[in-house]
Amino acid sequence: MAVLLTKNSKILVQGVTGNQGRFHTKQMLAYGSHVVGGISPGKAREQVDGVPVFDTVEQAVEKTGADASIVFVPAPFAKDAAFEAMENGIRLVVMIPEHIPVADSIDIVTRAQELGVTVIGPNTFGIISPGEKTKMGIMPNHIYKPGPIGVVARSGTLSYEIAFSLTQGGFGQTTVVGMGGDPVVGQTFISVLRHFKEDADTQAVVMVGEIGGSAEEEAAEYLKTFGKPVVAYLAGRAAPPGKRMGHAGAIIERGRGTLESKEKALTAAGASVVTMPWQVVDALREATQK
């Protein structure tokens, strides 16, 4: 099984005729994702890899019954795209673009809460459910395999590194969720952990966090009642304060968002916290054999 994204999800691609949209539509189809349509205003009647293109989400939903959408449009237009999806009945929206204004993200997330929409991102690699052979995202297809581990991460390539080490170490994954690297994103560690808690197939969880904000500290509070083994790895130990480490959200501001604070909270909550990415598999082996 999987969380949030299953093989039944019918997926739209907003911005399907752009470079990224085309490339990743192909990749998603190759993985097995059920991509039922693409959106590109003015380009209706085209096809991308056999996927029909529509002018509006409204049209696409009417014709295909889509319930999920992945957004590839440039950041300045991302708010419009997200609202178009949400207002037309889409219930899972994955926001790939980086550099979406925080004010736009606040508006998107606020509306999503009102409508009960799940927003993943912005600035995320997406979500993949290996056992269901489906993904909405830009992650490489070959590094995952089905299995009992849930992964929730703030960063893309680092989560690939860790997912691949899990796969090689014999730990397949139920679902891997990218929260996104921005200050304001749709998911928290807690919201994703709740899904993993309910999912009978998920036996343990790997959290990949980083400096900035206090999502890890908040998660630690929740972990006390989580009931499944958790291994956490956090990046940014050597990061100087006041500097943005690539992600808009990865910054130690005025003494807040430090790695020490996060590791301390997670350790106190019973998570197995490792210092380096290559230590995750051993820690997981130990945590799941207890």
Partner 1 sequence: MKQYEYLAKQALAEQGIPIPPGRLVNTPDDAAEAVKAIGPAALKAQVLVGGRGKAGGIRFAQTPEEARETAQAMLGMDLKGYTVERLYAEAKLDIEREFYISVTTDRNKKVPLVMASLSGGVEIEDVADSEIVRQWVNPRVGVLPYFGRQMAERLGLKGTLAKEFADLVVKLYHIYRERDAELVEINPLAVVDGHLMAADARLNIDDSALFRHKNVERIEEGSALEKKVHEIGLAYVELDGDIAIMANGAGMAMATVDAIQYFGGKPANFLDAGGGASVEPTAQALDVLVSMNPKVIFINIFGGITRCDDVAKAILQVKQTTGIPVPLVVRLVGTNEKEGVALLEQAGISAYSDMAPAAERAVQLAGEGRS
Q: Which positions are annotated as active-site residues? A: 247
Q: Is 163 helix (H, G, I), strand (E, B) or coil?
A: helix
CB of 179 to partner 1, least distance (A): 11
Q: Name the minimum Å distance from CB 121 to partner 1.
A: 13
| Cβ-based nearer residue to partner 1, 36 or 138 | 138
Compare residues 57 and 112 and give the one whose CB is closer to partner 1.
112
| Rounded Cα distance, 160 and 183, in Å | 21
Q: DSSP 3-state assignment of 17? A: coil
Residues in the site for partner 1, rule: CB under 8 A?
A: 75-76, 99-107, 109-110, 125, 138-140, 143, 153-161, 164, 181, 183-184, 188, 208, 210-211, 213-215, 218, 235-240, 243-250, 254-256, 275-278
- Return the number of the residue (198 or 221) whose C-beta is nearest partner 1: 221
Return the number of the residue (45 or 142) whose C-beta is nearest partner 1: 142
For partner 1, which is the closer residue by CB, 102 or 268?
Answer: 102
The least CB distance from residue 59 to partner 1, in Å, is 28
Which run of H or of E encompasses 94? strand 92-95
Q: Quote the CA–CA distance of 80 and 42 in Å, as a whole number.
A: 16
CB of 247 to partner 1, least distance (A): 4
CA 133, 139, 140, 145 dihedral sign is negative
DSSP conformation letters of 190-233: HHHHHHHHH-TT--EEEEEEESSSSHHHHHHHHHTTT-S-EEEE
Least Å distance, CB 86 to partner 1, is 14
- What is the per-residue DSSP string for 18-69? SHHHHHHHHHHHHHT--EEEEE-TT-TT-EETTEEEES-HHHHHHHH---EE
Question: Is 170 within 8 Å of 285 (Cβ atoms)?
Answer: no
* End-to-end Cα spacing for the chain: 24
CA distance 202 to 114: 29
Q: How far apart are CA 188 and CA 185, in angstroms?
A: 8
Kindly state the smallest distance separating residue 176's Cβ from partner 1, in Å: 12
Tell me whether residue 104 or residue 199 sits nearer to partner 1 (CB atom).
104
